[in-house]
């Protein structure tokens, strides 16, 4: 049994003290250690400060190759258990968040006595709450088991959505919507962390875009639900109250069983035996991003805040979220401005949902095939840019209804951009505290964009909403520019790491297994072994630091996904 070495047996040395991942001398000793010399009593001390996977692998086998069959079998178990629960949670979050938007076509503003920009502020206040509570989210995702934190948030926002039905004024709606946003603040950041700890970097874009595509599913099923609820005649409840109450109770009904079944991390999954847990960890070793560490490390926070690529993702998410915030809040009203009735508007709103799902899945498959997130993101961002430009240029008249609908639907491709940025950021950030901090930064940008976006769509600008569309076009151009800059910067970092590996006596150019199908691993290992032998076995310790909770900038073995 080998503690750190992924590909070959480490050959010398004992590890006689706790390893500090930030201490270069300790790391050098750890790299050369063999767990054949480490007894069970020493495991906890010697893995202190490292990833949670390290202690488990020390006890159950480390550095053992897994076959394609083993990898596929465990991946299927993970997919079949986690993905349905994640999709259900995210669907319900989006349904609850969008319920107010759906209710607008049933005179929500009139029945709730809203005036002027009050509706816009109700759309934005959720994101103000998420901004305020994001530091708590970052701390909780490090210190608490992720499933516990998700369960708390899940149950809380379901209750708040139901309580929303009791609000009859702007003040009551604003307070409840603020608390609703606070409860929802951690779901996307949690799911980004969860995806990075369970799936390889090749698999992450598809999984992340699948659960993120529940945005679209909520539009489809939510539109059908609201279409039915809108027909309910009640002397006591307004249509918006029926919608809020139904969505909230549905969320609560799902929250309890899912919260009980959701695992904290691979080593705690009840649906995997010990050998399957080991395989699950070996599957993600090549990511070099680890699983979880419950020690909050301020050094990693500082690194996240000073890392250029962190801020480039922040700028990207802000740009696309500004677009998303306006379109998602005012989409039904934009459709209604094309000359559609209330129920036609609800039904037509299902089509963008379908486009969201299809574009998310296709773009994720494109990333898996071409292994270039930057190129796919750049191409995808051109679709909403063209849609916004055409929507701006066309007169909003009944005669142009079909043309307007066509370009409005093209604009909806923007929905897949956020998921791709999420997966790009998660794949290129290592160190658990740094991951949660960077994810928090990105989500702050998402909230800010969603706050600003609805404010650019004023009732006085209807039905053209030119001011909002101009802002969208500017943001989409900036987004494309940031994608190009990030791709070039990550390429530079990869070249720098090649030099760092060579300087430490390792093979410079190595295969990134995390971007390859497991069916190719055996052949790739053979080729890598030949290359290592030709260079004097210099690559033997590659990926040895995968579970040391190192940040990507501190780990020379890290390969950035461009």
Angstrom distance (rounded) from CA 135 to CA 207: 26
Task: Give the tens place of pLDDT for each residue, 307-342.
Answer: 999 999 999 999 999 988 777 666 666 666 666 666
Q: Stretch 161-184: mean pLDDT, rounded?
A: 89
Count structural domains, the chain: 1
Residue 36 domain flag: no
State both tokens at 94: 């989006």
Residue 94 domain flag: yes
Angstrom distance (rounded) from CA 177 to CA 124: 9
State both tokens at 377: 């993101």
Residue 44 confidence (pLDDT): 45
Task: Give the tens place of pLDDT for each residue, 105-136.
Answer: 777 888 888 887 788 788 778 888 888 888 88
What DSSP designation does 345 have?
H
Q: Which has the closest alpha carbon to 229: 123, 336, 343? A: 343
The two most distant CA atoms of the chain are separated, in Å, by: 83
Residue 512 confidence (pLDDT): 79
**CA of 506: how far to CAs of 238, 254, 531, in Å?**
69, 50, 11
**CB-CB contact of 429 with 420 (8 Å):** no
Residue 513 domain flag: no
What DSSP designation does 63 have?
S
The range of the structural domain enclosing residue 386 comes to 68-287+298-491
Q: What is the mean pLDDT of the chain?
A: 81
Task: Give the tens place of pLDDT for each residue, 47-80.
Answer: 455 666 777 777 766 656 788 899 999 999 999 9
pTM to 2 decimal places: 0.81
Residue 243 domain flag: yes
Residue 17 domain flag: no
Task: Give the tens place of pLDDT for each residue, 351-396.
Answer: 888 888 999 999 999 998 888 899 999 999 999 999 889 888 888 7
Residue 3 domain flag: no
Residue 543 domain flag: no
Residue 333 confidence (pLDDT): 63
Residue 384's SS3 state is: helix
Residue 5 domain flag: no
CATH number of residue 267's parent domain: 1.20.1250.20
Angstrom distance (rounded) from CA 307 to CA 299: 12
**CB-CB contact of 390 with 410 (8 Å):** yes
Q: Stretch 7-34: mean pLDDT, rounded?
A: 39
Q: Which has the closest alpha carbon to 497: 540, 545, 559? A: 559
**CB-CB contact of 240 with 112 (8 Å):** yes
């Amino acid at each position: 049994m080998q503690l750190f070495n992924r590909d070959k047996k480490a050959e010398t040395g004992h590890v006689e003290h706790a390893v500090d991942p930030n201490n270069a001398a300790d790391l050098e000793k750890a790299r050369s250690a063999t767990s054949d010399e480490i007894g069970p009593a020493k495991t906890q001390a010697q893995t202190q400060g490292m990833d949670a996977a390290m202690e488990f692998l020390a006890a159950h086998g480390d550095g053992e190759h897994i076959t394609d069959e083993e990898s596929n079998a465990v991946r299927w178990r993970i997919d079949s258990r986690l993905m349905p629960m994640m999709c259900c949670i995210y669907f319900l979050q989006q349904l609850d968040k969008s319920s107010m938007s759906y209710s607008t076509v049933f005179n929500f503003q009139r029945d709730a006595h809203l005036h002027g920009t009050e509706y816009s502020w109700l759309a934005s206040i959720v994101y103000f709450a998420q901004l305020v509570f994001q530091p708590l989210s970052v701390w909780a995702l490090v210190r608490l088991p992720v499933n516990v934190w998700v369960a708390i948030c899940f149950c809380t926002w379901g209750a708040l959505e139901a309580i929303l039905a009791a609000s009859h004024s702007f003040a009551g709606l604003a307070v409840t919507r603020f608390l609703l946003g606070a409860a929802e603040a951690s779901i996307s950041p949690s799911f980004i962390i969860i995806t990075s700890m369970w799936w390889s970097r090749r698999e992450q874009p598809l999984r992340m875009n699948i659960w993120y595509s529940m945005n679209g599913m909520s539009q489809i099923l939510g539109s059908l639900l609201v279409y039915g609820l809108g027909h309910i005649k009640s002397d006591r409840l307004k249509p918006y109250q029926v919608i809020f109450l139904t969505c909230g109770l549905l969320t609560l009904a799902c929250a309890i069983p899912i919260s009980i079944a959701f695992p904290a991390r691979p080593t705690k999954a009840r649906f995997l035996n010990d050998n399957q847990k080991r395989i699950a960890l070996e599957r993600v070793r090549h990511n070099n991003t680890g699983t979880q560490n419950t020690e909050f490390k301020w050094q990693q926070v500082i690194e996240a805040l000073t890392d250029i690529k962190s801020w480039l993702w922040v700028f990207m998410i802000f740009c696309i979220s500004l677009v998303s915030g306006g379109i998602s809040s005012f989409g039904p009203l934009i459709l209604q401005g094309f000359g559609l009735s209330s129920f036609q508007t609800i039904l037509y709103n299902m089509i963008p949902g379908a486009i969201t799902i299809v574009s998310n899945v296709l773009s994720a498959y494109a990333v898996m095939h071409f292994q270039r997130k930057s190129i796919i993101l750049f191409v995808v961002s051109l679709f909403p840019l063209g849609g916004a430009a055409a929507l701006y240029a066309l007169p909003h008249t009944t005669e142009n209804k079909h043309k307007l609908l066509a370009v409005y639907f093209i604009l909806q491709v923007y929905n897949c951009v956020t998921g791709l940025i999420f997966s790009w950021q998660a794949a290129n950030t290592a160190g658990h505290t740094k991951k949660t901090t960077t994810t928090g930064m990105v989500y702050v940008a998402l909230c800010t964009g969603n706050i600003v976006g609805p404010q650019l769509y004023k009732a006085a600008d209807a039905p053209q909403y030119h001011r909002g569309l101009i802002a969208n076009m500017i943001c989409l151009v900036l987004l494309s520019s940031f994608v190009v800059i990030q791709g070039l910067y990550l390429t530079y970092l990869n070249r720098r790491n090649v030099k760092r590996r060579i300087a430490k006596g390792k093979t410079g150019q190595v295969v990134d297994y995390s971007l390859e199908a497991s069916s190719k691993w055996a052949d790739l290992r053979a080729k890598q072994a030949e290359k290592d032998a030709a260079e004097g076995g210099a690559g033997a310790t590659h990926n040895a630091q995968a579970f040391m909770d190192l940040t990507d900038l501190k780990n020379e073995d890290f390969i950035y996904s461009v």
